[in-house]
Structure 1
Amino acid sequence: MEQAKLAKILVVDDDPFILDLVSIHLAQAHYTTLKASDGVQALAILEKETPDLVVADVMMPQMDGYELTRIIREQWDIPVLLLTARGELNDKEHGFNAGSDDYLVKPFEPRELLFRIAAILRRYDKPNNSINQVGSLTINRKSYEVTANHTTLLLPLKEFEVLALLGSRQNQVFQRSEIMEKVWGFDYEGDEQTLNTHIKRIRERLANIAPDVHIKTVRGIGYKLEVIKE
């Protein structure tokens, strides 16, 4: 995927060996890399640079990875992958509650790090346009608002992400697996009934404010967003 290969990644770790090791593997995979030895230095870099992803260690002096993730979540729309030597469930929960997108336990295989990074970048791969118009429906990715016929909807986040994905390419069929991966993540352990439920709810909402816009089921493949012509 070309966009992933050109992505810029900030690596944050107080261990020089890990910092260099991760940076080398990212460079070999054709990513542009930035390096910081702690959370404070990472924030200074973020004030000047806009990476596509932050890979950060949890246990660091001055500011741990949890706190760094929390600040990133408050100030920037940048995904975070946390690295840690601790694999207990409580630590993972702490990381996800801080806002991380994924969590990888040391020691890890470089290949696993790379495919997790690629998966996160695919989920954040959004079209350049922050506003998509589909029939009478306007989908605003910045404000997370959906409007039609002078009515504004604030959808639950996952419903919005599903609708925004379908609306990003009108009349294009999205496979069910692609929707699940981009909205819920490649390692989501739930079943596809979750997607069915979200599609049903979105259809009900659209019927009330934008009856000209419809989510069509393409049997055996997935869904597409289309405008119904009278």
Structure 2
Amino acid sequence: MRVLIIEDEEKTADYLHRGLSEQGFTVDLARDGIEGLHLALEGDYAVIVLDVMLPGMDGYGVLRALRARKQTPVIMLTARERVEDRIHGLREGADDYLGKPFSFLELVARLQALTRRSSNHEPLQVQVGDLWIDLIARKATRAGQRLELTAKEFSLLSVLARRQGEILSKTAIAELVWDINFDSDANVVEVAIKRLRAKLDGPFDNKLLHTIRGMGYVLESRAG
């Protein structure tokens, strides 16, 4: 799941970026309203976490401009405690509101809830052959057997599964699973693919994860 954080407080922004990444989310970060709006309009995000008090353009301005073009789910963060402020944000188009300070686990739960009830969210489950992936519960089974995956391995698998049959280059995988500025010359993608393949295909005769020499990787069932 790809999430955009628009937050100017360095400590909060870094904490959210690190925490959500460890939970398996793909996270982009903007530190002012103008940059945040640009990313929100140009990117394809499952959810946006938007602070109210931002330099350049405040959260309400970002939300109004975003809602003129897109309906990406938005959860707003604010230190303001007045009910009127929360009502204002919801009327501007926010889907949820969370006051600072907040519980990180509550934020994660709210992000997942927004994704579940969003009208344009991704499928709840993806099937590739005898592989089933539950994108909300973040678990995968093959032939009825649970695959024990790390958070990053699950993110990698879900990216490949949502684009099953499509060849993804190392650079594309790096941008989708890690960070848009990720150094694709490193062997991190190759190592991650190797580890995922061992868990996904190792015990089975029908292989799902294929290497296309000189192009990248593709997840698809070639049985039958």
**Residue of 163, 173, 186 corresponding to 2:157:** 163
**Normalised by the size of structure 2, how large is the TM-score?**
0.57
When the two structures are aligned, how many residues end up with a matched partner? Answer: 171
Q: Corresponding residue for 1:12? A: 51
Moved more, 33-42 or 217-226: 33-42
Corresponding residue number in structure 2 for 1:226? 220
- 1:168-207 alignment to 2 at 5 Å? 168-188=162-182, 191-207=185-201
The two structures have a TM-score, normalised by structure 1, of 0.56
Q: Does structure 2 retain, via aligned residues, the 8 Å contact 1:11–1:22?
A: no
Partner-residue secondary structure (3-state), 1:186:
coil
Q: CA deviation at 1:72?
A: 5.3
Q: Tell which deviates more after alignment, 9-18 or 185-194.
A: 9-18
Quick one: percent identity of the two aligned structures? 22
How far did 1:70 drift?
Answer: 2.6
> What code does the residue aligned with 1:164 have?
S
**Cα distance in 1 for residues equivalent to 2:50 and 2:214:** 41
SS of 1:212's equivalent in the other structure is: coil
What is the Cα deviation at residue 186 of structure 1?
A: 0.7
Contact 1:12–1:37 under 8 Å retained in 2:
yes
| Cα deviation, residue 221, structure 1 | 2.1
Superposed, 1:7-46 pairs within 5 Å as: 11-14=50-53, 18-19=57-58, 23=62, 26-27=65-66, 30-31=69-70, 38=79, 40=81
- Aligned-residue Cα RMSD (Å) equals 4.3
What amino acid is the match of 1:181? Answer: E
Tell me the residue number matched to 1:101: none
User: Of the two structures, which has the highest relative contact order with CA contacts closer than 8 Å and spacing of 6 or more?
Assistant: 2
Q: What residue is the counterpart of 1:97 in the other structure?
A: none
Paired residues of 1:12 and 1:39 also in contact (CA < 8 A): no
